[in-house]
Amino acid sequence: MAVKVINDQCIGCSACVGTCPFGAIVEDGKAVITETCTACGACVDVCPVGAIIREAEEKTVAIDKSQYKGVWVYVEQVDGHIRSVAHELIGEGRKLADAMGQELAGVLIGDNVENLAKDIFASGADKVYLVEGQEFKHYSTDAYTITLTDLINTYHPSVILMGATNDGRDLGPRVACRVGTGLTADCTNLGIDEATGLVAWTRPAFGGNIMATILCPEHRPQMGTVRPKVFKRPEQDFSRSGEIIRVSSKVKPEDIRTKLLEVIKVCTASCNLEEAEIIVSGGRGMCKPENFTLIEELATVLGGAVGASRAAVDAGWKPAIHQVGQTGKTVGPKIYFACGISGAIQHLAGMSSSDIVIAINKDPDAPIFKVADYGIVGDVLEVIPALIEEFKKIKTAG
């Protein structure tokens, strides 16, 4: 819908100017709607002479949607290793492709990465679109955007799944804009809408207070980024094989506007929550930032990563990169320690897929105990040191 002013009827009373919550109306003798208008309609209701109306915009769709077939998964790899989220999406993509009666393909971009194709087939893909070159050794916004856009324009996939990682969140919207489609970001669930047969993308909205399901009926491909660890990684079958489609790179040196000078690792394995098999998280119950050294020590002893609740991050006790929850990272480790975390629904949404949850809290009625496999009622500042000591003994004895 669009908001329009009928100039012949407008009397220049300015009633609409003060009503617009976005400041999208200016007074120039008559009301003028600017580009910041969101078509909310507040001005329509307040106009005393009916000079402002809402009218439907004519939709023009220039694509033949029947030409778009197949489900693609962008296979993110770093230093020749496929990120776990790619395998998770191949597993989920397999379900979508089977439900749609279409093929599943992985898109692999990198330098000397053809050997990774066998892992992609083993996870469930039928095809791999492979683009190799020196320009893809490290992720580059320009090079990867040009390449994925070219692949889409050439082969016309119907659906594209990407991980909601740093690279995926950079690449996804740029490619979607270039091919003229929408993108649903940070999805936590996927399905097929029974009425339309379209992919139903589910994601948190309004700060995680509701879950919105989004469809893309008019444009192709249907694109979305999906949070790591919301789906389980599929069991791999290395007896599977598939077709490798090699595509030549069309990236020219002048297309890449940035140059990588040096890689500086500012975060150790303790930050890699998406890939961690053990996570030790702390919340408000840790009382002060200095006490997070206990969380870090326990994580180090167990060879795990350090997590934090939103309350701990908002208090400045840990950087946002450690945040677990609806507005942080979604994780699914084998073991998740929740230390001094009450168990707000937003936090549970980010770690509920963990295989084993161990909760430590001095409040026996804390919601976290309802989802925990093992619970310890006690002061985390006393329990954690005892756990550290016991785990050290076990490691020494082993």
Q: What is the pLDDT of residues 37-95, one digit of tens each?
A: 888 888 888 999 999 988 765 555 567 888 999 999 999 999 889 999 999 999 999 99
Q: Summarize the confidence of residues 128-156 as an average pLDDT.
A: 95
pLDDT reported for residue 267: 60
Helices marked H in the chain: 15-19, 42-46, 84-100, 117-123, 141-155, 166-179, 292-302, 310-314, 345-351, 368-371, 380-397
Contacts of 149-156 with CB under 8 Å at 24 or more apart are: 149/175, 149/178, 149/179, 150/247, 150/250, 151/107, 151/247, 152/179, 152/221, 153/179, 154/247, 155/70, 155/129, 156/67, 156/68, 156/69, 156/220, 156/221
Q: Is the pLDDT of residue 374 over 70?
A: yes
Domain boundaries, the chain: 2-55, 65-255, 269-397
pLDDT reported for residue 240: 94
From edge to edge, which strands make up the β-sheet containing 210-214?
189-192, 199-205, 210-214
What does the pLDDT look like over 291-318, one tens digit per residue?
999 999 999 999 999 999 999 999 999 9
> Measured between alpha carbons, how far is residue 302 from residues 33, 136, 277, 385, 391 in Å?
60, 35, 10, 13, 8
Rounded CA-CA distance 395/226 in Å is: 37
Q: Which CATH class is domain 65-255?
A: alpha beta
Name the residue with higher pLDDT: 360 or 4. 360
Confidence of residue 20 (pLDDT cuts 50, 70, 90): confident
Do the domains spanning 65-255 and 269-397 agree at the CATH topology level?
Answer: yes
Are 232 and 335 spatial neighbours (Cβ–Cβ below 8 Å)?
Answer: no
Are 225 and 182 spatial neighbours (Cβ–Cβ below 8 Å)?
Answer: no
Q: Which fold has domain 2-55?
A: Alpha-Beta Plaits (3.30.70)
pLDDT reported for residue 268: 55
The CA angle 139-144-145, to the nearest 5 degrees, is 135
Cβ neighbourhood burial of 203 (10 Å; 0-12, 13-18, 19+): buried
Are 242 and 235 spatial neighbours (Cβ–Cβ below 8 Å)?
Answer: no
Q: Which residues of 226-257 are buried (b: 16+ CB within 10 A; e: fewer)?
A: bbbbbbebbebeeeeebebeebebebeeeeee
User: Against a cut of 0.85, is the pTM above it?
Assistant: no
Residues 6+ apart with CB under 8 A from 76: 82, 83, 85, 86, 162, 163, 165, 167, 168
Architecture of domain 269-397: 3-Layer(aba) Sandwich (3.40)
Confidence of residue 262 (pLDDT cuts 50, 70, 90): confident
Q: Is the pLDDT of residue 105 over 60?
A: yes
Location of structure tokens 């991050």:
313
| Residue in 208, 217, 362 with CA at minimum distance from that of residue 284 | 362
Location of structure tokens 């006393």:
382
In the chain the first and final C-alpha atoms are separated, in Å, by: 68
Report the DSSP beta bridge partners of residue 159.
Answer: 71, 222
